[in-house]
Chain A
Amino acid sequence: MMDGKNRKSFMECFCDFMSDPENLPQEEVRAELKDLVVNTDQLEMMVAEIAKIGSQKRRLVWLKNAREKRTKIKKIFESKKIAGGSQNLKTKIKEILKGSYGEVAQSYAEAYFRKLESLSEKDLESLAEDMENLNLLEDLNKEEE
């Protein structure tokens, strides 16, 4: 039993007990709302609208952030002098920079590029090997899944 000092009043207990929607079937909740003269059809439409607008706004923010990130990475990539004849590795590194291998791999690659003034095929091989040998890509993919 609750001690007297902290005890809730009868009405507070009653309202709190009744307010908890857990374990109530939706039909009963809906029927109760109708009894309370709540227009449930209108409520459904309002909710759909809020979710639609909210989703659109969030997607816009997400797209803006993604574009900014892509531009930033592209600049880093373009600022480095990538040696010719290493097309496959370049493609692979590009994928890493695009974030296809996860954010940690992306950050790792970005940090790696910042260290170097120019990049040779060997540098690219080294980067890819480092990441593959450490099983980093696999672990990251697993984490992301």
Chain B
Amino acid sequence: MENDTVLKLLEAADWNDIIFRLTHYAFWRASRYTWRPGKSDQLLGGKTPEDIACEAMKKVWNGTRDWDPDKYPDLLKHLMWIVDSDMEHLYSSMEHKKTGNLPKFRPDDDSPADFSEIPSDPSSPVHAYSPTPEEDLVNREEKALEEKLKKKLYDLVMGDEDLEMLLLCFEEGIDKPEIIAAETGWDVSKVYNLKRKLLRKAKKINRIFLQGD
């Protein structure tokens, strides 16, 4: 697509709507990492989800992460991909600095392939890496925290059968609305309504994430 056409599309975009949704996305993506010990702003190297969202937007405008509307017509999705990529990079580099380990390989992740995430060769002696006692302790602490947060979430939705069922889907590793709908027999619009219901409990959920309250 011609550059002037891309410019026109960028100028016509509803940036207020985009930045709100992108910041919302960045916040929850950050939570994916920050439920682990630590606070969201500390883990993101002093950056906030708003910073990450605004930086993604700047990258599209200045062409660092050029947008090709022919390949990716949805600008928000393109920006979400940039947020994902930047956050993964930020988190991985921090984890690497902290532990000296390579970033975890996430084969189910939708984000594009990153050479730093290629799994090790099983025949390699490095493959049979076992965690140090310190790492083992950190892993156990993380596991315990996850269990604690999970319990708080179940307490939060207690008595609401639909929301409880939704959490059970997460237990099964299911998070895509279409798949949740297929597994539960719900209409997909019901899944979105449940998400809104969960968001209305956002204050409590956010407190759980940010303060480990």
Contact = CB atoms under 8 A, between A and B. Distances in A.
Interface of A: 1-2, 6-24, 26, 28-30, 32-33, 35-36, 38, 40, 43-44, 46-48, 50-51, 53-55, 57-59, 61-62, 65
Contact of A21 (B25, B60, B172): B25
Interface residues of B, number: 58
Interface of B: 3-4, 7, 10-11, 15-25, 27-29, 31-32, 35, 49-50, 54, 57-58, 60-63, 76, 107-108, 146, 149-150, 153, 167, 169-175, 177, 183, 189, 192, 195-196, 198-199, 202-203, 205-206
A38 B171 CA distance: 30
Contacts of A11: 32, 35, 146, 149-150
Given A1-B172, A18-B199, A54 B61 contact: yes
A54 B195 contact: no
A36 B123 CA distance: 47
A51 B24 CA distance: 19
B150 A29 contact: no
A18 B31 CA distance: 10
B10 A58 contact: yes
Contacts of A9: 146, 173
Nearest to A16: B175
Given A8-B173, A11-B32, A62-B3, A24 B16 contact: no
Label chain B's interface by main secondary structure. Answer: helix
B32 A16 contact: yes
Contacts of B27: 19, 33, 36
Contact of A48 (B15, B58, B174): B15
Contact of A33 (B24, B54, B76): B24
A53 to B, nearest CB: 8
B23 A33 contact: yes
26 contacts: A2-B172, A10-B170, A11-B32, A11-B150, A14-B153, A14-B175, A15-B35, A16-B32, A17-B177, A21-B24, A21-B76, A22-B192, A23-B192, A30-B20, A32-B202, A35-B202, A36-B202, A44-B16, A48-B15, A50-B58, A51-B11, A51-B15, A53-B61, A54-B58, A54-B62, A58-B61
A10 B32 contact: no
Given A24-B195, A35-B206, A38-B50, A10 B28 contact: no
Contacts of A8: 108, 173, 175
A18 B198 contact: yes
Contacts of A23: 189, 192, 195
Contacts, number: 160
Residue from A6, A38, A40, A54 having most chain B Cβ neighbours under 10 A: A54
A28 B195 CA distance: 11
Contact of A10 (B146, B192, B199): B146
B174 A1 contact: yes
B21 A29 contact: yes
A17 B61 contact: no
A57 B31 CA distance: 34
